[in-house]
Amino acid sequence: MRMTHSTTLKVTCLVALLITSGCGDSRNARSTSESTRVTAGSDGAGSSSTSGADTTTSSPSTSAPPVVGGNISIWPPTGSALAYPDPVEVARAFAIEYVGFVDPVIGMFQQGDSRSGEVEVRPTESGPATTVLVRQVGPGDNWSVIGCATASISLSDPTTMSTVESPVSLSGTSTAFEGTVQVLMRDSSGAGALGEGYVTGGSMGEMGPFQSQLEFSAPTTDSGSLMLYTQSMENGAVWEASVIGIRFP
């Protein structure tokens, strides 16, 4: 068949167009294979990975104790002249002076975010851990204790930094020797207990529910703490404790 000049030009343009389209599809396919996936990290922040490069990046953990209405310093007390530039030392002082541990074993500081962390305290080398939560509450570099927690006492109500009145309802789960967990309410004046009592949950290592009420005297400050603790079956010393900050109306 005889091809004219016009026909040859059309065929040449068509071939060029097909080659160009093929290259574009190849680039698009390569771009698609390098898609980015975003997942939620443990702290709620996103982490991303690119499958083509086979790399993964994630945000550093910035977890902090849950609070409502801001942190307060349980130890040292509000208005105190005490200052602790070392988080381990403030945890030690809190454990002995505030909670009542006798010669406790103090662990190392575990960093949280840039201004918070935790220190484990045990009554003996093999005793249960009470995790003391520390934070730089103010604008300076000194450390404060904002609470502590133990696996054997889980307080559901009241919650951290909630406002309470007398009598306050207590509920949660616990396990203790003979099921008894002691309860102590304080304000931040350092003047002593506003109220004391106990709750009864599970025993022998089995967690069980508790529900009770605690009456307490009128506070002289607008904040304080609620402490629940167990005692050694050998000598009655503090064995483990949970302390939360609370507010008064």
pLDDT in single tens digits along all 249 residues of the chain: 444 444 443 434 333 433 344 444 433 433 333 333 333 333 333 333 333 333 333 333 333 333 333 678 999 987 889 999 999 999 999 999 999 999 999 999 999 999 999 999 999 999 999 999 999 988 889 999 999 999 999 999 999 999 999 999 999 999 998 999 999 999 998 888 999 999 999 999 999 999 999 999 999 999 999 999 999 999 999 999 999 999 999
Domain tally for the chain? Answer: 1
Residue 39 has which token pair? 């997942």
Positive or negative CA dihedral for 146, 150, 153, 156? positive
Contact 108, 119 (CB under 8 A): yes
- Burial letters 197-211, b for 16+ CB under 10 A, else e: bbbbbbeeeeeeebe
User: What global pTM score does this model have?
Assistant: 0.72
Q: Phi and psi for 103 in degrees, rounded to 5?
A: 50, 55
Rama region for 35: left / alpha / beta (φ>0; ψ in -120 to 50; rest): beta
Q: Is residue 63, in this structure, part of any structural domain at all?
A: no
Residue 8 lies in a domain: no
Distance in angstroms (rounded) separating the CA atoms of residues 170 and 248: 16
> Which CATH number fits the domain that encloses residue 101?
2.60.40
Would 79 be classed as within a structural domain? no
Provide the domain limits for residue 103: 87-247
C-alpha torsion angle, residues 117, 122, 123, 126 (rounded to 10): 180
- The Cα 223–Cα 206 span in angstroms is 33
Angle at 225 between CA 224 and CA 230, to 5 degrees: 160
Q: Is residue 10 part of a domain?
A: no
Burial of residue 93 (number of CB atoms within 10 Å: 0-12, 13-18, 19+): middle
150 within a domain of the structure (yes/no): yes
Q: Is residue 53 part of a domain?
A: no
Decide if 238 is inside a domain.
Answer: yes
Asked whether residue 29 is domain-assigned, the answer is no
